[in-house]
Every structure is written in C-alpha cells, then in structure tokens.
Amino acid sequence: MSRLVLLGTGGGRFAAILQARATGGVHLLLDDPDGRPRRFQIDPGPGALVRMLERGIDPLRTDAILVSHCHPDHYTDAEMLIEGMTNGGNDRTGALLASRSVIEGVEGFGPAISKYHAAMPGLARVVSPGDRIDVAGIRVDATPSVHSDPSSVGFRVHAREGVIGYVSDTALAREVTEAHLGSRILILPVTRPLKMPIPHHLTVEDAASMIEAVRPELALLTHFGMRVIKDGPDAAAAWIQERTGVRTMAGKDGMAVEMGKELTMR
C-alpha cells in the first residue's frame, strides 16, 4: 500500500531558519507495477536527512529525488540524499528530477546541486511543465508553477491507489490548478494566512480556490509560514473544509497517510 510521510511542514524563510516546523519535504513509499517498494523524496529541505533517520526511513534505499525549485527550504539536503541514493556515490543508480534552476542554474537561481553530485545518479534530468517520466516503473508528471524561480515545477506522482498531486510554491493560477485535476490527494503549500498575500505564494483563500476546483479526496496543507503557524494551521484547514466541502487537513511533522480504499492518517 502506498504511503506518504510529511517529513516537515514548515516553509518560507523564517519558519525554515528557526525550524518553527521541520522542513524535510515529503517522503513517498510506493509500489511499482510488480509490487516492489519504491521510495521517492520530494523537496528535501533543511533537516530532511535527519527526519528520515528519526522516522526509520533508510536514505540508502531512495529510488528518486524530486526537487521543485531553487529555494533552500526545498533543496538543501538534496546532495546528501544523492549520496544516500547512490550508496555513497559507489553505484550509478536512482533518479534525480529537478527544475532547470536546480541542476543547471537559471537567471540567478542555482545551480543548487554540484556537477559532481548531478553526475552520480543513474538519471539526472531537468524537468519542465508537461513532462511525463517513468521513474522506477512509476509515472511522474511535472506540472506548472508560477513562482519567483521561473523554472519552478510541481509534480504529480501516479501511485497505484491514485494520483498524489504536489503543488510546489506558486501563485494561484489557472494552469496550475488545471494540471492537478484528478488528484486523489492534493498537497498544497499554504505559506500565507487569510488576507495576507505576498507574490508567488498561496494564501489560505488561494488554497481554498484550488481545492474547490480540483476536489481531491483529501487536501493536505503543508509548507506553513510563520504567520500561518502562529494563527494555527488547523484553523486554516477547517476554514477551507467549511468553504469547499472537501476533506482538508493541516499536516503535522511526521504525519503519514496510507492510501488504501480509504485514506488513513497515522
């Protein structure tokens, strides 16, 4: 059964600097078509490696690392995880999928991964919105993202039990919403509280608009900025659920969701 773990639910500069919430990104444990377990790590920000080890997740068994864009709350542990995925650089194995900024550098952003590390995995691939890639038997789509890093992407991971949509840092935009239609679980970064927008990020209202359009079975909020953490992410989730009628939960550090016939939180 596929399972996702929120290694961290903090996001934005100050929540990351102060570790007001952990910032390790999302770990996915998926079954490939032959039933073999595959382990993907999305946006390994500061502390991802430590949080993995704390939760008994073996970094040496990583199959793919997905990095959405070139901000440190999304990439700082990527090189360490590449070393894990490749057995300390000894095996040319695993896949790195990342925005152009992360691997090559774009308009003053990045690169965030050294050439030395980008050469380690079996596959290191720049992804752009619309790309569809088979990673260890599991389909991954890159989706659009309207963010300060112009090469930012989001992801859709096609688990056997349904699609996990990972919306990375973005402004609310029609193309972003449309790319995530059909997601069973929609993971959204809610960096800003109600009525406090800043460019390139979702507020609670923006998240509600997206959730209302996509109507996933579960909307999972994460990547909370300092103000959202102070106001209480549970209140934001309740506000969205009340307004949209879609089951909405505020992520907690270490929260796991199991994708059976029902979605079960642990």
Which residues make up the interface to Zn ion (CB under 5 A)?
11, 71, 73, 169
Q: How far is the CB of 63 from Zn ion (least distance, A)?
A: 24
Which is closer to Zn ion, CB of 72 or CB of 254? 72
* Closer of 67 and 208 to Zn ion (Cβ): 67
Tell me the CB-side half-sphere exposure of residue 228, using CA atoms within 13 A: 35
Q: At its nearest, how many Å lie between Zn ion and the CB of residue 18?
A: 15
Give whichever of 11 and 162 is closer to Zn ion, judged by the CB atom: 11
Q: Smallest distance, Å, CB 229 to Zn ion? A: 14
Instruction: Give 161 or 253: the residue with its C-beta nearer to Zn ion.
Output: 253
Cβ neighbours of residue 241 closer than 8 Å, sequence gap 6 or more: 247, 248
> What is the DSSP code string of the chain?
-EEEEES--B-SHHHHHTTSS----EEEEEE-TTS-EEEEEE---TTHHHHHHHTT--GGG--EEEE-SS-HHHHTTHHHHHHHHTTTTTS--SEEEE-HHHHT-BTTB---S-HHHHTSSSEEEE--TT-EEEETTEEEEEEE--SSSTT-EEEEEEETTEEEEE--S----HHHHHHTTT-SEEEEE--B-TT---TTS-BHHHHHHHHHHH--SEEEEE-B-HHHHHH-HHHHHHHHHHHH-S-EEE--TT-EEEESSSEEE-
- Residue 158 has phi, psi (to 5 degrees) of -90, 85
Comparing CB distances to Zn ion, the nearer of 47 and 94 is 47
CB 172 to Zn ion: min, Å: 15
In the complex, the smallest distance separating the C-beta of residue 203 from Zn ion, rounded to whole angstroms, is 14
Provide the minimum distance between the beta carbon of 68 and Zn ion in the complex, in angstroms, as a whole number.
8
Q: Which CB sits closer to Zn ion, 184 or 200? A: 200
Cβ-based nearer residue to Zn ion, 39 or 71: 71
Q: How far is the CB of 233 from Zn ion (least distance, A)?
A: 15
Asked if 37 and 13 count as a contact pair (C-beta separation under 8 A), the reply is no
| Contact between 86 and 92 (Cβ < 8 Å) | yes
